[in-house]
Structure 1
């Protein structure tokens, strides 16, 4: 997979992932399943690639990083 996520995008994804993951620990059982969704932004931030960005042709990296 080619990387298509820039640093700012990674930080936002990490924050969202941690926020959703906190649902597993902090909220009552009926909506606790939302915490599992936190793994998606965490995994894409770690990998540096988002499959949906590939489909849509989006690349949030800086121009110099795109060339290399």
Structure 2
């Protein structure tokens, strides 16, 4: 599993993931659990790997 998420893409994923996760604390009732969807961009940003990117042969990392 090699990294396929670049730096800018990674920062955007982490910030967006945290914003969506905050819905757990903002919304009430069962609707608040939609905030768990924020785990997907957050985790893919942390591990620098996106399974969908590898499926579609996308790589936002800088080439060495």
Q: Same fold (TM over 0.5)?
A: yes
Q: Hey, which bits of structure 1, 4+ residues long, moved more than 3 A?
A: none
Q: After TM superposition, list the pairs within 5 Å mapping 1:1-68 onto structure 2.
A: 1-64=1-64
Give the secondary-structure state (helix, strand or coil) at the position aligned to 1:61.
Answer: coil
**Distance in 2 (alpha carbons) for counterparts of 1:58 and 1:25:** 34
Offset of residue 45 of structure 1: 0.7
Gaps of 5+ in 2: none
CA-to-aligned-CA distance 1:3-35 (integer Å, 9 cap, x gap): 000000000100111011000001122421211
RMSD of equivalent CA atoms:
0.9
Gaps of 5+ in 1: none
Larger relative helix fraction:
1
**Distance in 2 (alpha carbons) for counterparts of 1:18 and 1:52:** 20
**Distance in 1 (alpha carbons) for counterparts of 2:34 and 2:17:** 11
Aligned residues: 64
